[in-house]
């Protein structure tokens, strides 16, 4: 669906949030992957901070960001909620992670 959004934040935060909006339903991305898309691999912590500053997380899907090792990390609603959202979306990467257990 399409929804007009007024994202309020720094230019860097907005660039991260716009990248989050490009992640398809059922897919995930890593913090490193996002920093690479911005051509700044040293910005991983800044990417994570911008991800955490997202005020409309269910619309701007920050729950689709996982650690480079596939670990579920950092979500304002808690990792358990992040896990449920990814399971609901049937994320390919998350499904692969479940095979490890």
Question: How many helices (H) and strands (E) in the chain?
Answer: 5, 2
Q: Are 31 and 43 in contact (CB under 8 A)?
A: no
Catalytically active residues are 62
For 65, the token pair is 């960001």
Provide long-range contacts, Cβ within 8 A and 24+ apart, for 85-88.
Answer: 86/28
Q: 30-69 pLDDT, tens per residue?
A: 999 999 998 988 999 999 999 999 999 889 999 999 998 8
Q: Are 47 and 54 in contact (CB under 8 A)?
A: no
pTM of the model: 0.81
> 11-98 belongs to which CATH class?
mainly alpha
| Residue in the block written with tokens 């991305």 | 29
């Amino acid at each position: 669906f399409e929804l007009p959004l007024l994202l309020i934040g720094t230019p860097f935060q907005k660039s991260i949030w716009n990248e989050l909006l490009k992640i398809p339903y059922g897919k995930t991305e890593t913090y490193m992957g996002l920093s690479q898309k911005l051509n700044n691999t040293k910005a991983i912590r800044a990417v994570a901070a911008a991800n955490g500053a997202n005020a409309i997380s269910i619309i701007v899907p920050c729950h689709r960001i996982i650690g480079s090792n596939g670990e579920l990390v950092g979500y304002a609603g808690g990792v358990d909620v992040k896990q449920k959202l990814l399971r609901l979306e049937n994320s390919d990467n998350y499904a692969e992670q479940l095979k490890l257990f």
